[in-house]
Structure formats: C-alpha cells, structure tokens
Structure 1
Amino acid sequence: MTDHDEACALRPLTLAWVNRRLGPGERIVGTGALHGGITAEMRRLTVAAPDGGTRALVLRSFVDPYFAEHAGGLLNREADALALLAETDVPAPEPVAVDPSAAHCEYPSLLMTHLPGRTVLTDEGLKARVPLLARQLVEIHAFDPVDRPQHYKAWTTADAVVPAQGADRAAWTAAIDVIREPAPPFEGRFMHRDFHPGNVLFDLSPEDSAALRVTGVVDWVENSWGPADLDVAHCSTNLALLHGPAWGLRFAEAYEEAGGILASAAGERLYWRLLDALAFTGEVGPVVRPWQEAGRVELTTRVVEERLDAYVISLLDAPS
C-alpha cells in the first residue's frame, strides 16, 4: 500500500481536518485500526516530518449513531480531561484537536497524541501487573482539579438487572437487593470511570519483570467525580471476567496496599462492587468481542457469564 493510499484510508473530510492540524511539511504516511474499543472507531496515524522522523497520533471517531448523537458531551469531556491531565504525572494522551459536532469531519472526532506500550490481557504475568494497575489508579484518584468533571453516573439500576440463564437466582436476588438501597455517602475523587486492563498500556520490552511499567492510560470519555470504590469496582469486575473471580477480589486489596482509601464499612464496599458487577448483565457480548480479538478466544459469552455469576457469589460470600 502506498503512502497516498494509506492517507486516503481516512475519510476525505477527516483527512483534510487532520492535515490542517499537522506541522509545516508533515504528512500522513500510514494509518491502521486500533482494536479493543467498544464504542468508537480508533485509528493510529503515522506522521512523517521533513527531516525524516515520524510521530504517531490517534484519531477517535464516533460512527455508531447512538454515540455520534451524544458525541458532543463525550468528546469535549475527554478533551478537557486530557488537557488537565497534561499538567500531571498521569500518563495520558494530549489533545490535539476536537470536532465534537462533526462540523469538519464525517463523524464526531478527537485527535490526540499516541502513547507507547500496549494492552496486556493474558493470564501470564498478571501477578506482576495487578499492583501496577492499582498504583496507577491511586495516582489518578490523587488528582484534584479545580474544575471538577461531571458527577458519576451509575450504569444500572436494581430494576434493570436481568440475571443470565443459569445464574444463581438466590445470590442475584440478594445482590439486587443490595443495590436497591440508596448509594452510600462517599468522599469524591477524580475518576477515570472506565479503568480496566483494556485501557492501560504497558512497556513489555524489559526482560526483567521488575522493570515492567505502565506507559499510558487511555479512553477518558467517561471521566467523572465520584467514589474511588466505583473505579476500583469496575477494574475488579473486568479482572474477574478476564482472569477469574479471585482476581476481582484481589484488586481491591492491591489498591489499598498501594495507598488507596476505600469505604470503611464492608456494606458500603459491597454496594459499589455489586453496582458495577450487575451492570454487566446483558452487556457481556460487546465486552467479550474485543477480548477475543486480542487473542482470548476461549472467553466465550457463556464462559464470561459463568465467571460473572461466580464473582457475584464470591462478593456476597466475602468476609465482612
């Protein structure tokens, strides 16, 4: 594929918009799809400079009609968060340009810098990665911006939860009763709100596992102000579904070991963890797809539903 063909892989209006954001003499010489996302089309753009050097940018485009309709708030919120995070040590992309209403592009779009590293979803090496995930989330929660983002939103309600076929009905009835209660009080924190292994990049080049490090945290569309417990709960659920319920329970421990502070009452911690876990009912398919694309082909919808059921039971059975 020639450079010209690579550049034209972008839609014409979007290509022109991106070109206007490049430096003097820069040009796009390559594009490639980035896999793993659920709600948006993601592309990596390779940009060549006149001196022969190259750099990479990332383009997020909301092509799905539902998300395109809500793109104004989503993309502006992400761009604002990235601008704020640029002043911190949190390894997040930097915003380059945003077209939230598709005034210039075919679809609402955000152009941002590209971060090194890659996501890792394998069971191998998980023991070393979990503490790094926890420490990174503690660092995110330590950020206290002057202009706080929107208040967090719950992604399910007690009345919306429909247990998967074969789930332990008694356990799920008890879990639903827990989240039917009013949300516990909490001390607000800056939340990523979609923090999980699929949105964290690692440098895997060192042969020494002790040198493993996080190189980036991406997908800040849902950043919010709310309880640290809910961010921890979301990563915990993802770990439980990817690697087994025990790892979901382990992440909260790792977060506290890293200096993070969770709700002091066991009932409050249980509320947030179940609120997140139960939000996956009916949504397992879209979650499983990028995991399978990343090589976890054994994670069928049925396997993940069974892990979710086991995780809900383990949360209810965990010592108070």
Structure 2
Amino acid sequence: MIDGGDWGQGWDGTRRWVEGLLAPGERVTAVSALTGGWTSRMRRVDVERAGGAGPYALVLRSFVKPFYRRHAPGLLAREAAVLRLLEGGGVPAARLRAVDGSGAVCEHPSLLMTHLPGTVRVAEDGGAGRRAGLLAAQLAAVHALDVAEEDRPRAWQAWTAPERVEVPGGTARAGLWRRAVEVIGGAVPAHRSCFLHRDFHPGNVLFTGAGADLAVSGVVDWVETSWGPADLDVAHCSTALALLHGPEAGLAFADRYTAAGGRTLADGRDHLYWRLLDALAFAPDARKVAEPWRELGRTDLTPAVLTERLEDYLQALFDRYA
C-alpha cells in the first residue's frame, strides 16, 4: 500500500488505523477537513481502489477537545450502535466501518464511516422554506423507526435546567427570561417516547439537488441519539431554524412536522415546556452552535443577532402556546 493524504503532524496512529481497514490494494489519496462541525474534527478520506475500480470516500470523526474526548467512549459507542441499527433503511445514514472509542490505537477517539452525498445548506435564501418541509418529513421518518426494546438508545437528557440558564447581559427583557425559566422549572409533562436523533437541525442534514429536485441525502451526527418525546426533537430543530431564519421559521416547524405525518405532539403549555427547555439551552447568544454556520457563510449571525432572534422566539412561543 502506498501512503497518501495529508494527515498532518501527530496523526500517525490514526493514519495506520485507517489504512489497516482498507482492502488489499487500496490506498488513501487525500485527506481534507469538513466544515460544519463543532464537537469533533471531521475529515474526508479519499480512497483509490485497486485495478481502476473507481475511488470512494470515507469520513473520519475524531474527538479532540478535552470535554468531548472524556465522553468519547460513550458517545462513539452510541453512534456506532445507531449506525448499525440504521443499516436496515428508512433513514439515509452512513455505514459504520470501525470505531476506536477510547483512542487505544488512534491519537484521539475516532469513528470511521462511509461518506454520504450532498451538502449542508443553511443559506438565507428562497429555498429555506422548502428545506424546512423536507427536514420535517425526514424527522417524522426518524421518529417512525420501529426499534426493539433491547436496541433502544439511552433515555433523553435535558441540556439545561433553571439554575443553569444564562440570561444575556444587558437584556431589556428580563421578565421574559424569568417567565421562561419558571416554565422549565415545573414538572416534566407526561409523554410517549420514541426514537430520537436528539441533535436534529439543518447543520446535521445533507441535501442534494435544487428546486423540485431538492432532496435529503443524509442525516449525520448520531452521538446524542436518545429515547424520548418527539416534541424534544421538534423543539431542537425549531430553535435552530429560529436562529437561522427568524422566529417565524422556528414557530412554523411543528406545523410542518405534523403535516408531514409526524407523531402527535403535546398540546399548549406541555408543548411549550419542551420548546423552552431546548431554546433556553442556547442562551445567552447561541454563538457556539452558530460557529459552524458562520463557517458555511452565515457571517450575518452575530451574537447580537442571535440574542435578538432567541428572545423574539421565546416571546413568539408564549404568544402561541401559553
């Protein structure tokens, strides 16, 4: 095998691990960074087959940041299990090739999977509404997966709590924030659980085509997969859409999901609980989650813009569901 690809310094163990997984006669010809991720370093690995059979690509996820490296064994074990589960079809997901969750061989805990076609699309353009409809239909398909009890992922976990909510400094709407925090401080609503992606948003969905040919080609990042209320997945994608395109886009997503045949969502204040539980986890300004979006061209998403949109979205939720 001929070594290939620009791995950079300090990745020799990872390089040998990947190359050892290739078929005889195959070689790595290029290694390139993929944009749009925040929790892990994502790279495309191009592979040339023997005998002129045509190239193919893999994707390597490596947890480098200390926090995620500490949690990598559980995160990557969960993603590996989910990718195996999804091989049965129904959701366009990558195929697992191998996982080194503890970093026993690789320099950093890593997972290798097949490369999916398509690109992440978060532009503020005329296609945002069409994409939102396709996102809703795809999420409904995720929730419709029939998962045996022994294959169910872990129970859902909240990503914030009343005492952890960070209110934006200098806000003129402190009362709005207090009201929202009070809601999530109440009892967890009764709910029916299903299979959740748990981090479903436009940055984790790939699209191909345009116009009438626009289609979802892949759903990625299954490390947070959980078992819980459909409202929580709907809430997470809704918050992301509100930050990307404005409160109206976020508010409308639940309606799109219902129209796409999704599961029955909670009513009124119960649904409000799930929407606020997700939205408040983005406080004070959502700059962390927006960093990959800015890498994809959304440089307009400044902290000030994100804070204003988040507050406007909170108010819109109360106007509709309280």
Normalised-by-shorter TM-score class: over 0.9
- 1:185 matched to 2:180: no
Code of the aligned partner of 2:99:
V
- 5 Å matches for 1:17-28? 17-28=17-28
- 1:157 matched to 2:161: yes
1:9 counterpart residue number: 8
1:266 to 265, 268, 281: 268
1:256 to 234, 258, 262: 258
Count of matched residue pairs: 315
Task: For 1:256 and 1:197, locate their aligned partners in 2 and report how far apart those are by CA, in whole Å.
Answer: 18
SS at match of 2:5: helix
Code of the aligned partner of 2:56:
R
Contact 1:7–1:15, Cα closer than 8 Å, also in 2? no
Shift of 1:262: 3.4
TM-score by length of 2: 0.95
Deviations 1:99-139 (A, max 9, x none): 00111100100000000000000121011111100000000
Code of the aligned partner of 2:5:
E
Deviations 1:228-259 (A, max 9, x none): 00000000000000000000011000000001
1:79 counterpart residue number: 80
Contact 1:7–1:28, Cα closer than 8 Å, also in 2? no
Task: For 1:179 and 1:142, locate their aligned partners in 2 and report how far apart those are by CA, in whole Å.
Answer: 27
SS at match of 1:47: strand
1:197 to 187, 190, 202: 202
How has the CA–CA distance of structure 1 residues 8 and 172 changed in structure 2, closer, same or farther, with 3 Å as cutoff? Answer: closer
SS at match of 1:6: coil
Task: For 1:284 and 1:138, locate their aligned partners in 2 and report how far apart those are by CA, in whole Å.
Answer: 26
- 5 Å matches for 1:67-146? 67-124=68-125, 125-146=127-148
Shift of 1:264: 3.7
SS at match of 2:89: coil
Shift of 1:88: 2.1
Shift of 1:282: 3.9
How has the CA–CA distance of structure 1 residues 58 and 99 changed in structure 2, closer, same or farther, with 3 Å as cutoff? Answer: same
Code of the aligned partner of 2:181:
I
1:172 counterpart residue number: 177
How has the CA–CA distance of structure 1 residues 176 and 215 changed in structure 2, closer, same or farther, with 3 Å as cutoff? Answer: same
Contact 1:171–1:316, Cα closer than 8 Å, also in 2? no
Contact 1:91–1:215, Cα closer than 8 Å, also in 2? yes
Moved over 4 A (4+): none
SS at match of 2:51: coil
- 5 Å matches for 1:13-52? 13-52=13-52
Contact 2:122–2:203, Cα closer than 8 Å, also in 1? yes
TM-score by length of 1: 0.95
Task: For 2:194 and 2:8, locate their aligned partners in 1 and report how far apart those are by CA, in whole Å.
Answer: 40
Contact 1:167–1:306, Cα closer than 8 Å, also in 2? no
Contact 1:6–1:31, Cα closer than 8 Å, also in 2? yes
Task: For 1:40 and 1:167, locate their aligned partners in 2 and report how far apart those are by CA, in whole Å.
Answer: 35
Task: For 2:313 and 2:7, locate their aligned partners in 1 and report how far apart those are by CA, in whole Å.
Answer: 46
CA RMSD in angstroms comes to 1.4
Task: For 1:319 and 1:161, locate their aligned partners in 2 and report how far apart those are by CA, in whole Å.
Answer: 21
Shift of 1:7: 4.3
Contact 2:285–2:307, Cα closer than 8 Å, also in 1? no
SS at match of 1:81: helix
1:308 to 307, 310, 315: 310
1:148 to 143, 146, 152: 152
SS at match of 1:171: helix
SS at match of 2:30: strand
Code of the aligned partner of 1:26:
E
Code of the aligned partner of 2:212:
A
Task: For 2:242 and 2:51, locate their aligned partners in 1 and report how far apart those are by CA, in whole Å.
Answer: 48
Task: For 2:201 and 2:266, locate their aligned partners in 1 and report how far apart those are by CA, in whole Å.
Answer: 23
More divergent stretch after superposition (101-110 vs 157-166): 157-166
Contact 2:195–2:228, Cα closer than 8 Å, also in 1? yes
Shift of 1:318: 1.2
Contact 2:285–2:304, Cα closer than 8 Å, also in 1? no
Deviations 1:256-287 (A, max 9, x none): 00011233421111000000000101462211
